[in-house]
Amino acid sequence: MTIAHRLQPDTRATRERRQFDIIAAIARADAGLMIPPEKAPMVFARITKRIRQLGLADAEQYCALVLGSDGTSERRHLISALTTNVTGFFRERHHFDFLRRQILPDIVPRAKRGERIRIWSAGCSSGPEPYSIAMVLLDAFQDARDYDIRILATDIDAEVLDVARAGRYGIEQLAPLPDGYQKRFLRAPHTDGPGCPPEVAPELKQLVRFKELNLLAPWPMRGTFDLIFCRNVVIYFDQDTQMDLWSRFAGACKTGGHLFLGHSERLPQTFHGAFRPVATTTYLRTPASPPEQPPRKES
Ligand SMILES: C[S@@+](CC[C@H](N)C(=O)[O-])C[C@H]1O[C@@H](n2cnc3c(N)ncnc32)[C@H](O)[C@@H]1O
């Protein structure tokens, strides 16, 4: 609690502000998420559900829980509640067109020659992004599974990863699939029953590995990636976290590999020595090493 907090009378508004500050500080420290005060109603709406599930009285008790020594596992649920998981099949379709037209004609022969091809969907949410990549890949390269090609799909949120692994999606979510893809890449659900959604085909699941990973934590992956999709993720991070990530992505991407960002994300000019823009929010990893990071601002 800050001195300013202690000096204020304990009205409902000050209590709520204090609770919001606690939650926002955890979101920033644990996941790099920046939550501005105007998002307080959204934060309370999301934690209210969790408070009910846990049988707690109010947000005050919830804050005591997450701050307490037993709060570690609850903090994971909290981060899960606070993340924005909006996603979609073939979202920002121009990236998939670029993949099909500009990248696969190079990657397919390399894979056929026995090269190891690695693709990373960082912040994959419930799976449409890595499955869309897998669909385009299999469409261009039917035997992809017989070669050393894998798509790693990671997210901090264990709940969305469960949805991703199950690979079952509602009809509306599947609407953006290109012509013929529904028939080719979806299967009738294993379980019978009306309203049971279709499931992505096993050939897609075999190409994609889902893993829980906080982008702020050390990355356990060995080797570099040919393609990194990190779209609509860093937009929720503060400036220092973004700068750290650009530098780490430069280290994780092969020379000649590509980095894809979301529509409102841009790599700062200081990183254009390491990544050259080649299409909308699409960057080519050049041989230059990543630039020195500017000094961090004191917070
Ligand atoms: C808006 S979704 C984007 C999904 C997908 N990339 C797309 O563009 O459709 C953002 C995802 O980033 C994940 N995320 C947020 N903070 C993260 C972190 N620190 N580490 C890993 N994933 C994180 C969230 O859980 C969420 O699923």
Three-state SS for 202-235 is HHHHHHEEEEECCCCCCCCCCCCEEEEEECCCHH
Active-site entry in 155, 157, 168, 226: 155
Task: For residues 107 and 64, state if they share a domain.
Answer: no
End-of-domain residue from the set 82, 107, 124: 82
Distance of CA 51 to the CA centre of its chain: 26
Q: Is 46 a catalytic residue?
A: yes
Residue 113 lies in a domain: yes
CATH number assigned to the domain comprising residue 72: 1.10.155.10
- Write the residue with the smallest CA distance to atom 26 of ligand 1: 85
- Per mean pLDDT, which range of 47-51, 68-72, 140-144, 212-216 is the poorest? 68-72
Give DSSP secondary structure letters for 107-145.
HHHHHHTT--EEEEEES-TTTHHHHHHHHHHHHH-TTGG
Task: For residues 25 and 69, state if they share a domain.
Answer: yes
Task: For residues 10 and 106, state if they share a domain.
Answer: no
Tell how far the Cα of 48 is from the centroid of ligand 1, in angstroms.
22
* Structure-token pair, residue 139: 């469409």
Task: For residues 51 and 76, state if they share a domain.
Answer: yes
Task: For residues 234 and 265, state if they share a domain.
Answer: yes
Q: Which domain holds residue 117?
A: 93-285
Task: For residues 200 and 269, state if they share a domain.
Answer: yes
Task: For residues 75 and 142, state if they share a domain.
Answer: no
The tens digit of pLDDT for each residue in 217-252 reads 999 999 999 999 999 999 999 999 999 999 999 999
* Structure-token pair, residue 239: 């400036």
The DSSP symbol for 241 reads H
Give the list of residues 6+ apart from residue 199 with CB closer than 8 angstroms, or none. 166, 167, 168, 186, 187, 188, 189, 190
Instruction: Provide the pLDDT for residue 267.
Output: 95
Q: Indicate if the pLDDT at residue 85 is higher than 80.
A: yes
End-of-domain residue from the set 36, 54, 82: 82
Residue 294 lies in a domain: no
| Residues with C-beta less than 6 Å from any ligand 1 atom | 31-33, 83-88, 91, 123-125, 129, 155-157, 160, 214-216, 231-233, 236, 262
End-of-domain residue from the set 49, 82, 115: 82
Residue 222 CB neighbours (<10 A): 5
Mutate to test the pocket of ligand 1, among 221, 233, 248, 282 (most ligand atoms within 8 A of CB): 233
